[in-house]
Structure 1
Amino acid sequence: MKDVLIITSYFPPETGAASNRMFHLAEGLQKENYKVSVITPLPNYPTGKIFPEYKGKFKHISVENNITIIRLWLYASNSKNKFLRLFAMFSYSFSLIWFFLWNKIPQTVIVQSPPLLVAFTNMFFLRSKNRKLILNVSDLWPIAGLELGAFKKNFSYRMLEKIERLNYKKADLVLGQSEEILTHVKTLFPNKNTFLYRNYPDFEVSKIEFQNPSEQKIKLVYAGLLGMAQGIYKLCEQLDYTNLEFHIYGAGAEQAKIEIFIANHPELPITYHGEVTRKELHQELLKYDLTIIPLLNRIYGSVPSKIFEYARLGLPMLYFGGGEGEDIIKRHDLGWIAEAGNYEALNNEISIIKKSDLSLELKEKIRKTALDKFDFNHQLSRLKKII
């Protein structure tokens, strides 16, 4: 039985795409007869506070579904203060180094990036111990940070670029969730071994619910992080509600603003449902006609994992983010597209969608596409051959 260690900054019970991605990878490898262990911080995302059941602990070890999970201390923060965020990353890096000094590390290690500094700690320290290092890149930092307006092209940005390159250089294999990520890596290191590892979900699917096409408005839903990059607050302001009701699930930095906006505009058909578990969310989403996947700005290398999750649920999509995600929606006929950041184009697209277009037949077709084209186990079997 081959030992594999996964090092990640996000893992359940935390929610979100990164947490789900690493959980499915760990679970998938364990089912394929790997001995899997995971190192991750004490749960704190997205609140920036250690979850109550883990408070006061410096290390927590558990075995869940035959996976050993080692949770290490960090200074938790989601503050907008860059120095506090940086200190939070450094604190986890220090905990990792301390763990490496006193514990045996498996020969094969999968490292999640970003955060860049945490990934660099792993790549630098473990490379000297002659481990096979696999870097799983889910977003292109610092490029994504620049496009989001979080960074400027200054000395700090150039330092992050150097760290990014060192991470790629030290990796024996780079996994990327998008073709754009792999193209970027190959541009810097043409001979680097790479593998396209999409964030395909792996869950049992429920029967698709029939929605009566004669019912009034289209039920549009957004579920996920309510952060600056998604722009849900601006979406609430800009949507044309003539033929629409809007439902929101999730939590994040814009949550309070969204709740205030809804309270101040009771005439608008917007409902905020709060945050629910992933399993509960899958059942809730089956009630809706259409989902929206927005990004405030097109981010190079980013492919929202929601595309694959919603396709598996058979949920038609309205994609509003540009880039490679837009190409996937088009190629597999998963829904509708509006130019990223163009709210007039978005409302025009919504106006041409009829309730009857969102039929049971369409939903079943989307689900079939997902089961055929976005198969987690098939992807994992190919990955096994190279790790």
Structure 2
Amino acid sequence: FLTEYFPPETNAAASRVFERARLWAGQGHDVTVITTVPNFPEGRIHPDYRNRWRQEEVRDNVHVVRVKSFVHPNRGRIRRTLDQASFMPGALLAALRLARPDVVVATSPTLFAAASACLTGLARRIPFVLEVGDLGSASIHAVGAVRARRLLGAVERLEAFLCRRAARVIVQTSRMKQAVVDAGWAEEEKVAVITNGVDVDRFRDVAEAYTPHRRTGRFVVGYIGTIGLAHGLDVVLEAAAHLSDSTIEFHLVGTGAARAGLETAARNRGLTNVHFGGPYPRHRITEAWASVNLALVSLKDHPTFSTVVPSKIFEAMACGVPVLLAAPEGEAAALVRRHDIGTVIPPGDAPALVDAVKRLAADPDRLHRQSENARRAVVQYDRPAQAAEYLGVLRAALHASDASRARAAR
């Protein structure tokens, strides 16, 4: 499994890969993850590691091979691209030096990791499976990270090529599958939908302790996760300014490309009801969830983000924390309404955010109902069930590859 993100990094891709990999390894499968030295998103290497050409460890029965790469914070178009691209040669070399596996998998983002896995599959004559966390070219365009049409076109062509070369493509939502199929990148039968999820047991204690008003006199709206360009969190500062004379606080916990600018803006505006914290190591993230009354999940107003369901929603559900979703109408909004686990408002709408927070803070019965709904619904998205479904897709890819070889040998 090739990925640039892996614990002790705490972003969604790192958690998703690790939680499934350890479940597979616990069932007796041989699982190797090829990754970089942990540094995302600050571009600072974790104190327990060095940026060496190759280092190995075992984490929960998962064999982890870390390769050297150029390390840079998650900002700045050219250097961040060099950071991601530099993973390719080390990852490919490491994959070719391992005993021949049955299948090679990559999660995208980034496309460089996916390209390395594709080349590994070709060189080792094994099936390559691509997991699409988000549609890279569309997401890059949505956040304005790249504006040059030719460069965006090149990214899209690479994405299409990888999907076509993959034995199976795994996406997280039905809309994302439809986008891949409609673009002609993969046949419908080759694309599997495996919804994002969460390790429910990890958050059980937080869920059992949840009450709509945990801190005396204060109502805390928490955003917990990567504070990036896609999340449109400027709206929090606007809302906080309108709520400065109330008992409502906003806690933004995490790090990312947008955090420094938001901190500076909050300080310049004298917003004493906006607090920044973290990032927390993986084993302490429950502390952040235990401190909030309402989970804010925010995405920019762009059609691309109608196809995704942020992992924060599933963590909030596991913690029994009601969700306030500020995002385009789409998969995430449908999930929140289907399970009645929160409230949906338009993205980037400060007055709507102010109104929703005030209404929810004054309605503990509604919050309690949504908390109970979340705890009941989250069992559908527990990680072990996902891991089993994912393993079924890998077996199908292997079976299809074996069948293809048998036909070619006749």
**Structure 1 length normalisation: TM-score?**
0.91
Q: Which piece of structure 1 moves more, 83-92 or 165-174?
A: 83-92
Q: Is 2:47 aligned against 1:52?
A: yes
Would the aligned equivalents of 1:229 and 1:295 in 2 still touch at CA under 8 Å?
Answer: yes
Q: 1:3: which partner in 2?
A: none
- Partners of 2:353 and 2:51 in 1: CA distance: 47
Q: Is 2:79 aligned against 1:84?
A: yes
Amino acid at match of 2:319: L
- After TM superposition, list the pairs within 5 Å mapping 1:350-365 onto structure 2: 350-353=357-360, 354-365=362-373
Counterpart of 1:318 in 2: which secondary structure?
strand
Amino acid at match of 2:255: A
Q: Is 2:143 aligned against 1:139?
A: no
Amino acid at match of 1:280: R
CA distance change for structure 1 residues 129 and 191 in 2, over 3 Å: closer, same or farther? farther
Q: Which piece of structure 1 moves more, 275-284 or 207-216?
A: 207-216
- After TM superposition, list the pairs within 5 Å mapping 1:308-327 onto structure 2: 308-322=314-328, 323-327=330-334
CA distance change for structure 1 residues 255 and 16 in 2, over 3 Å: closer, same or farther? same
Quick one: which of 234, 248, 252 aligns to 1:248?
252
Quick one: which of 342, 348, 361 aligns to 2:349?
342
How big is the shift at 1:252? 2.0
Q: Is 2:211 aligned against 1:202?
A: no
For residues 265-322 of structure 1, what are the alpha-carbon distances to aligned partners after superposition, in whole Å with 9 as ceiling and x for unaligned? 5563222233222332223323321110011333343220111111011000100012
Q: 2:238: which partner in 1?
A: 237
Q: 1:9: which partner in 2?
A: 4
Q: 2:190: which partner in 1?
A: 193
CA distance change for structure 1 residues 383 and 339 in 2, over 3 Å: closer, same or farther? same
How big is the shift at 1:360? 3.8
Indicate the structure whose relative CO is greater, using CA pairs within 8 Å and at least 6 residues apart.
2
Would the aligned equivalents of 1:109 and 1:132 in 2 still touch at CA under 8 Å?
Answer: yes
Q: Is 2:292 aligned against 1:288?
A: yes
Q: Is 2:229 aligned against 1:228?
A: yes
Q: Structure 2 unaligned segments of length 5 or more: list them.
A: 395-410
- After TM superposition, list the pairs within 5 Å mapping 1:121-140 onto structure 2: 121-140=116-135
**Structure 2 length normalisation: TM-score?**
0.86
- Partners of 1:264 and 1:256 in 2: CA distance: 12
How big is the shift at 1:149? 1.2
- Partners of 1:383 and 1:274 in 2: CA distance: 32
Amino acid at match of 1:257: G
How big is the shift at 1:99? 2.0
Q: Which piece of structure 1 moves more, 241-250 or 66-75?
A: 241-250
How big is the shift at 1:249? 1.2
Q: Structure 1 unaligned segments of length 5 or more: list them.
A: 1-5
CA distance change for structure 1 residues 101 and 140 in 2, over 3 Å: closer, same or farther? same
Amino acid at match of 2:8: P
Count of equivalent residues:
381
Q: Is 2:390 aligned against 1:383?
A: yes
Q: Is 2:237 aligned against 1:218?
A: no
For residues 128-186 of structure 1, what are the alpha-carbon distances to aligned partners after superposition, in whole Å with 9 as ceiling and x for unaligned? 43212111110101011111112236211111111111110111111111222211222
- Partners of 2:158 and 2:103 in 1: CA distance: 22
Would the aligned equivalents of 2:104 and 2:117 in 1 still touch at CA under 8 Å?
Answer: no
CA distance change for structure 1 residues 50 and 129 in 2, over 3 Å: closer, same or farther? same
Counterpart of 1:345 in 2: which secondary structure?
helix
Q: Which piece of structure 1 moves more, 29-38 or 206-215?
A: 206-215
Q: 1:328: which partner in 2?
A: 335
- Partners of 2:115 and 2:68 in 1: CA distance: 18
How big is the shift at 1:35? 1.2
CA distance change for structure 1 residues 191 and 355 in 2, over 3 Å: closer, same or farther? closer
Superposed CA RMSD in Å reads 2.3
How big is the shift at 1:340? 1.5
How big is the shift at 1:358? 4.9
Identity over aligned residues, as a percent? 24
